[in-house]
Chains A and B, each alone.
Chain A
């Protein structure tokens, strides 16, 4: 799976042979799912039967750099009995499609098909941050919870969240927090604050 890192980053697959080098378009939307641990309880303290070491070994099978290239990372819990039996209808697909289409129109106005395509050097121009939002990202970087690549990705996601709310840039602190919340690190155990 780690071989996908380069295509994911550049959107092309490059095949190089002795005489020629060919590029194939590979702009994909990659959706992947994994179990949180061997037993499937996701390390929920008290419920999970996995040893911390075996859980970590299991999670390490997906490399950090590969995880870093996913814009959205969510934990999906096992639904409770109530949720299974009394599910309220969520937004319809049509409603969501409308939202997505309008967000796409905003992206198109920036000259890209999707916010994910905005090159890093244009982020300051196309997705400016409020001072508070910048401060939150600075804190995450300083605490080592965000990589350089992750920073760009979070900013693009935060821009999309802003677009979905149909509000104009700059990207505010709420959008940044929400984007961070959608970027879960399954391996992370926070260092205890002294």
Chain B
């Protein structure tokens, strides 16, 4: 089969020995086809820009041998065919189509595999991450965060993992809002966890699903921390919902800190496992998050409603008298008549005006004052 040069780059990206910076350097200096051939023949070290230092030589030669063993089992034609079959688009970091959000990152993937629409990346992006062994409440909160952010036009970035990650995207998909951005640690041919295969498809249909490995790549432990760095690189802010003191989410947090991406955390009940990481983050000075509004406020996309002024027009002085009379206590027509000494008609007229103006609310026979924030 006639395969394009990019197919070799795609196959190279699947080798565990090809760390992003290494592959990026190789592909910048050499044709992908040449890199592949050198890899297969176990002579990758020949492509180094400068001869390795003596103490490095042994390690690099070992690495080249491992890469050759790995590459001998992979056919770039098969990798390419799988990309075509699964409608996976392959983009090199040098390509103009490569998302600018990632290109600037020091650890940007040399080759990006995506399904969906890369335009989904354009706009504010917030990562919602957390532990896989989450509580039901944590997942609920993550879903509400995802929903609220998506509805407000903020793209939810997450790792599609079990627990918090998946819940955040499920919430984001509940509304017709900003497109979801999924970052996977496996290839497009291996949805992981398998029970999230449907979620993967939904994310592809509504937004974009990115990964730095070709479709045939199965879950490998070291891929997930690498995936987390992409989440941090893509996010304008990282929100941690539940996390243990150590774990994948904390890797995302460290990667975010390295990139000066703000980290926000949802507090939890001390003593519960999911609260260890997040409470520590808050103690260390991370912004506390109660709901999606807190995140929007932090991003400067929204002012908290309660600090905005009362939008209602001021009642007329006479009506204000009724409002003062009712005070914090509900009152009925009769007590307003008794309190003001007005006729029923006058009292009723004032109450109707106040109700129409949003100052009072009627519950059966009772009139209750409406606090400023609630009228919005």
B329 to chain A minimum Cβ distance, whole angstroms, is 8
Residues of A within 8 A of B345 (CB): 173-175, 177-178, 181
Q: Is the CB of A177 within 8 A of B375?
A: no
User: Which one, A7-15, A20-28, A41-49, A105-113, is touching chain B?
Assistant: A41-49
CB neighbours (8 Å) of B330 from chain A are: 44-46
Which A residues are in CB contact (< 8 Å) with B252? none
A45–B370 CA distance with the chains assembled, in angstroms: 13
CB of B339, distance to nearest CB on chain A (Å)? 13
Taken together as a complex, chains A and B put the C-alpha atoms of A189 and B330 apart, in Å, by 13
* Complex CA–CA separation, A173 to B353 (angstroms): 13
Interface residues of B in 339-376 (CB under 8 A from A): 343-349, 351-352, 355-358, 360-366, 368, 370, 374-376
Q: Is the CB of B364 within 8 A of A43?
A: yes
**Any chain B CB within 8 A of the CB of A61?**
no
A35: min CB distance to chain B, Å: 12
Q: Does B319 contact A (CB under 8 A)?
A: no
Contact B368 A75 (CB under 8 A): no
A190 to chain B, nearest CB (A): 5
Hey, what's the 0/1 contact readout for B329-341 against A, CB within 8 Å counting as 1? 0101111000000
* CB neighbours of A136 from chain B (8 A): 349, 352
A177 to B351, CA, bound (A): 10
Q: Mark A180-194, 1 if CB is under 8 A from B, else 0.
A: 111011111110111
Q: In angstroms, how far is the closest chain B Cβ from the Cβ of A64?
A: 14
> Sorted from nearest, which 3 A-B pairs have the closest CB atoms?
A75-B365, A193-B358, A181-B348
With A140-B352, A181-B333, A181-B351 given, name 12 new contacts (CB 8 A): A44-B366, A45-B330, A45-B366, A75-B333, A75-B364, A139-B356, A178-B348, A181-B348, A185-B364, A189-B362, A190-B355, A192-B358
Chain B min CB distance to A34 (Å): 12
Q: Are B363 and A192 interface neighbours, CB within 8 A? A: no
Interface string of A58-81 (1 = CB under 8 A from B): 010000000000000001010000
Is A36 interfacial (CB 8 A cutoff)?
yes
**C-beta contact mask, A154-192 vs B, less than 8 Å → 1, else 0?**
000000000000000000011101101110111111101
Q: Closest CB-CB distance, B323 to chain A, in whole Å?
A: 15
How far apart are the CA atoms of A59 and B345 in the complex, in Å?
27
Contact call B361/A174, Cβ cutoff below 8 A: no
Contact of A186 with B364 in the complex, beta carbons under 8 Å: yes
Do the beta carbons of B343 and A174 come within 8 Å of each other? yes
* Residue numbers in B under 8 Å from A42 (CB-CB): 364-366
| A173 pairs with B334, CB closer than 8 A | no
CA distance A132 to B251 in the complex (A): 69
Query: How far is A78 from B169 in the complex, measured between Cα atoms in Å?
Result: 54
Whole-angstrom distance between the Cβ of B284 and the nearest chain A Cβ: 41
Complex formed: what's the CA distance from A44 to B330 in Å? 7
Bound: A150/B349 CA distance, A: 18
Q: List 28 A-B contacts (CB under 8 A).
A: A42-B366, A43-B366, A44-B366, A46-B330, A55-B364, A75-B334, A75-B364, A139-B356, A173-B349, A174-B345, A174-B346, A177-B344, A177-B349, A178-B343, A178-B344, A178-B345, A181-B344, A181-B347, A181-B348, A186-B364, A186-B365, A187-B364, A188-B364, A190-B355, A192-B358, A192-B370, A192-B374, A193-B358
Q: Give every chain B residue within 8 A of A44 (Cβ-Cβ).
A: 330, 366
Verify A193–B344 contact, CB threshold 8 A: no
- State A192–B355 Cα separation when bound (angstroms): 9
Residue-wise interface mask of B (286-321) relative to A, using a CB-CB cutoff of 8 A (1 in contact, 0 not): 000000000000000000000000001000000000
A77 / chain B contacts, CB cutoff of 8 Å: 332, 334-335, 365
| Cα-based distance from A143 to B366 in the complex (angstroms) | 19
Q: Are A189 and B356 in contact (CB under 8 A)?
A: no
The answer for the CA separation of A175 and B349 in the assembled complex, in Å, is 10
B333 / chain A contacts, CB cutoff of 8 Å: 75, 181, 184
Q: Which has the most chain B C-beta neighbours within 10 Å: A36, A136, A139, A190? A: A190
Q: Return A78 CB to nearest CB of chain B, in Å.
A: 11
A193, B374: Cα distance in complex, Å: 10
Select A143's contact among B334, B356, B361, B376, beta carbons within 8 Å: B356
Q: In whole angstroms, what is the CA distance A180 to B346 when docked?
A: 11
On whether the beta carbons of B352 and A180 are closer than 8 Å, the reply is: yes
Q: Chain A residue with minimal CB distance to B351? A: A181
Q: Which residues of B contact A140 (CB under 8 A)?
A: 352
A121 to B344, CA, bound (A): 28
Interface contact B343-A45, CB-CB below 8 Å: no
Determine the residue in chain B with the shortest Cβ distance to A176: B345
The chain B residue with its CB closest to the CB of A43 is: B364
Q: Give which listed residue, B334, B344, B360, B368, contacts A45 with CB less than 8 A.
A: B368
Check if B356 sits within 8 Å of A43, measured CB to CB: no
Measured in the bound complex, the distance between the Cα atoms of B348 and A184 in whole Å is 11
Given A175-B345, A181-B345, A190-B364 contact (CB < 8 Å): no
